[in-house]
Amino acid sequence: MIDLRRIEELSLNSSAPPAQLLYDGWLLRLSPGKAKRARSVNAVYPSALALEHKIAHCERLYEEANLPMLFRITPFSQPPQLERSLEARGYTRLEPTAVETAPLETAPANGGARVMELGPWIDAVAELRGSPMAHRDAHLARLERMPLAKCAVAVEEGGRVLATGLAVIEDGVAGLFDIVTREDARRRGYARRVVATLLHLAHGLGARHAYLQVESDNMAARPLYRDFGFTQSYQYWYRARPLESPDKSGTPGQGL
């Protein structure tokens, strides 16, 4: 059985932005961009300071950075009373997300997606999502500086990228990210080809487990992932102040 706390650590490593601070056991991420993982507080380890003092310190820091105050809550968040304190301060819960894991003892057949260089691949992801240039630049900076093995792939037809995906491999575990399909090409098997290719390549790089993060209500994607052996291991969600848009990140947009 894989250690779920370790999965949480790996997912944080796989989404590490250039701008982050360690504050008394909490990881404060302050990178503008689409992904909320890169601009939220992750309360990952036990701490010594008073909880109310810590929350107030984070609020000031994010205000100075012109970012919304977001806390990412997991079953492992410390201290255990953090969510109750945030709720008392008016923070509301949003975007529950499932973390799913799967064994990768054997490699699935290669789905035939093409491996791409990071720059062109990120351009393709940005186009599929309709992301502004600022988000594209933040995405590229984060991945280029990440000291982990990674595979970026895409399915193309007629010179158009129809679907994308990324695998990040650490400690024998592959995380799957940025699985995006062009809106007018959905439900044609392109995402399945991307996932198969990523798992095939990750197995070749030594991965024997895999994980991914998917919105809990995404009923289109979750059956696909089940076909590859993924099952839910835990959930996380965000806490934000109601009068402060969680999608204020220098440019419009949202993301997990």
**Domain residues of the chain, as ranges?**
4-96+236-240, 101-235
Q: Considering only the C-alpha atoms of the chain, give the largest distance between any 2 of them, rounded to a whole number of Å.
A: 58
- pLDDT tens digits, one per residue of 138-192: 888 888 888 999 999 999 998 899 999 999 999 999 999 999 999 988 989 999 9
Q: Which CATH superfamily is domain 101-235 in?
A: Gcn5-related N-acetyltransferase (GNAT) (3.40.630.30)
Phi, then psi, of 98 in degrees rounded to 5: -90, 135
Cα(37)–Cα(100) distance, integer angstroms: 17
Q: Is the dihedral of CA 210, 165, 29, 233 positive or negative?
A: negative
- Say what the pTM is: 0.86
Q: Which of 245, 240, 235 is nearest to 55 (CA)?
A: 240
Q: If you write DSSP's letter for every residue of 34-60 in order, what string do you get?
A: S-GGGGSEE--S---S-HHHHHHHHHH
Mean pLDDT calculated for residue range 213-217: 91
Cα(92)–Cα(242) distance, integer angstroms: 6
Cα(57)–Cα(72) distance, integer angstroms: 16
- pLDDT at residue 252 is higher than 50: no
Q: Which of 1, 76, 65, 4 is nearest to 38 (CA)?
A: 65
List residues bridging with 212 in a β-sheet.
100, 176
Backbone dihedral region for residue 90 (phi beyond 0: left; psi -120 to 50: alpha; all else: beta): left
- pLDDT tens digits, one per residue of 101-135: 999 999 899 999 999 999 999 999 999 998 888 88
Phi, then psi, of 126 in degrees rounded to 5: -60, -40
**Cα 188–Cα 207–Cα 151 angle in degrees, nearest 5:** 55
Band (pLDDT 50/70/90 cuts) for residue 27 is very high
- pLDDT at residue 249 is higher than 90: no
